[in-house]
Chains A and B, each alone.
Chain A
Amino acid sequence: MSDAAFDIAAGGMAVQRSAMDLIAENLAGVPAGRADAGGSSVERPAFMPASFSSALDDALALTDSSDINMPIDEDTGWNFTSASASSGDDTALANAFTPAAGVSRSGIDPIGQMIALISTGRAYDADVAALQAAKQMDVEASDIDKY
């Protein structure tokens, strides 16, 4: 049997793997679009942070800390704030979790990316099925003389 079916199915699998990588990058880049970097309007990450902590540091450095009224727990070092803890003032909560500048939402549609992820996974399954069918046919062909 010619190897065309194997080559085509393997090529398709390679493409689906690349598509998976791209979708994963897009999903990872969803909250990382920075306004000062021009944001991200295409489905590619605007930038890939070296680590979450450095990205957080960058975001906080761009934020006026006086806008954020978050008491620090002396024992744990965590910043706690909640609507109930701030005497019913919802704006305190909004300010605490919405940096004034530096970070904005990217233009990537996470739902669309998840749908593309499922579709790409199914296409990979189809390529695997085609590869297995070609392999099975090769085995059958080689077994014909075993009567």
Chain B
Amino acid sequence: MSSFGFDAVEAGLAFGRARAVVLATDAANAQSQGFRAVDIAPAGERFNGLVVRALGSGGAAGTIERAMAASAQNSVRYRALADQERAMLREFRSAADGARR
């Protein structure tokens, strides 16, 4: 197994944590006067960069609903990546146990 697999999954996990903060900020400030919601997207060759996107004004209600939906999506994606990392670690362990025998 290449270390790139681990790097990519861990970059994805780090991105998920950063996006959770951004979405929490959007939800908390949705009703603030003049607040512009933003979102982030992964970027870079190894997905370790970030692109910040300003979202169109959908009003407070639109920002709140979007933040809730994006938060749920981000949570599911984070869980999938965590499952992936767990599976890769399990595979690592199996390989190490096999080599020991």
Contacts and interface: CB of A to CB of B under 8 A. Distances in A.
B25 A140 contact: no
Interface string B18-43: 00110111011111000000000000
Interface string B45-67: 00000000000000011001101
A5 B24 contact: yes
Contacts of B21: 2, 4-5, 8
Interface string B69-98: 001101100110010011101100100000
B12 interface: no
Given A9-B28, A11-B28, A123-B27, A133 B20 contact: yes
A43 to B, nearest CB: 15
Q: Interface residues of A toward B: which range?
A: 20 to 34
Contact of B71 (A19, A123, A133): A133
Contacts, number: 95
B78 A130 contact: no
Contact of B75 (A137, A144, A147): A137
A79 B18 CA distance: 65
A134 B24 contact: yes
Contact of B31 (A5, A120, A140, A141): A120
Interface residues of B, number: 32
18 contacts: A4-B21, A5-B17, A9-B24, A9-B28, A12-B28, A123-B27, A126-B65, A126-B68, A129-B68, A130-B28, A130-B71, A133-B23, A137-B78, A140-B79, A141-B13, A144-B86, A147-B89, A147-B90
Interface of B: 13, 16-17, 20-21, 23-25, 27-31, 60-61, 64-65, 67-68, 71-72, 74-75, 78-79, 82, 85-87, 89-90, 93
Among all A-B residue pairs, the 6 with the closest Cβ atoms: A12-B28, A126-B27, A130-B24, A140-B82, A133-B75, A147-B90
Given A8-B21, A147-B87, 6 more contacts: A5-B17, A12-B27, A122-B61, A133-B20, A137-B75, A140-B82
